[in-house]
Amino acid sequence: MAATTDGTEEHTSAPGSAPPARRRGTGRLALAVSVFGELLITGGLVLGLFVVYSLWWTNVLADRKADREADRVRDTWAHRTGGGPGALDTGAGIGFLHVPAMKNGEVLVRKGTSTKVLNDGVAGYYTDPVKATLPMSGKNGNFALAAHRDGHGAKFHNIDKLRKGDPIVFETKDDWYVYKVYDILPETSKYNVKVLASVPKESGKKKPGRYITLTTCTPVYTSRYRYVVWGELVRVQKVDDKRTPPKELR
């Protein structure tokens, strides 16, 4: 405290200290930085939890549901007699896809490719904008399928592991349909429905045949483009009493 020329006293700051007003301003700034930092941490935690939910927990839930539906299908097969395409459609699924290169086990196949269907951890066959030809019909056409690549079961996550010549096997109540991969399109527009055509000319085919097409999103963790794999039927193997899988799956 120091005397002034008019005899009053004046408060002074200690040497090296900031004026009171400046200290209050610094305190507000520090508080704002602290609050902002806490918001960033909270936001990071929320984002991290969302990623865990999207890429892990949805897989857990979808796999559980798919397993229950698969058990229903196999139970129906075990108690149903008679053949023909109509006897194969249980309502819960029409069969199982086996792709050794993807290391995804057996994948239940159901009707439709909507999010509601695929989120159950299954593969779905197209009904729109192009109608898939089911192999059980015995007709030429394209058995076109889709499944998620990430989250909700991620059944086609390893689709990029497939190579030309790899087997793709579709199992029904009465038959094993063995396909062989003959062409791959790593990236195309998600609006390119020509890849689903009955005769997939983009794969180089010009004549009717019995084809299979697998589609999913790409790059990984995005849905910007589509990844496409084409296969052609090489043989049909009858299911025996022990459901012995074809040699491609042993």
Positions marked catalytic: 148, 217
131 inside domain:
yes
150 inside domain:
yes
Domain count, the chain: 1
C-alpha pair distances (Å), 248 with each of 72, 168, 222, 245: 26, 9, 32, 8
C-alpha pair distances (Å), 209 with each of 28, 125, 199, 217, 242: 74, 18, 7, 26, 30
pTM of the model: 0.79
235 inside domain:
yes
**Domain of 149?**
53-249
CATH number of residue 97's parent domain: 2.40.260.10
Per-residue pLDDT of the chain (250 residues; tens, 9 = 90+): 444 444 444 444 455 555 555 555 677 777 766 666 666 666 565 555 444 445 678 888 899 999 999 999 999 998 876 554 444 555 689 999 999 999 999 999 999 999 999 999 999 999 999 999 999 999 999 999 999 999 999 999 999 999 999 999 999 999 999 999 999 999 999 999 999 999 999 999 999 999 999 999 999 999 999 999 999 999 999 999 999 999 999 9
239 inside domain:
yes
CA distance 32 to 47: 22
16 inside domain:
no
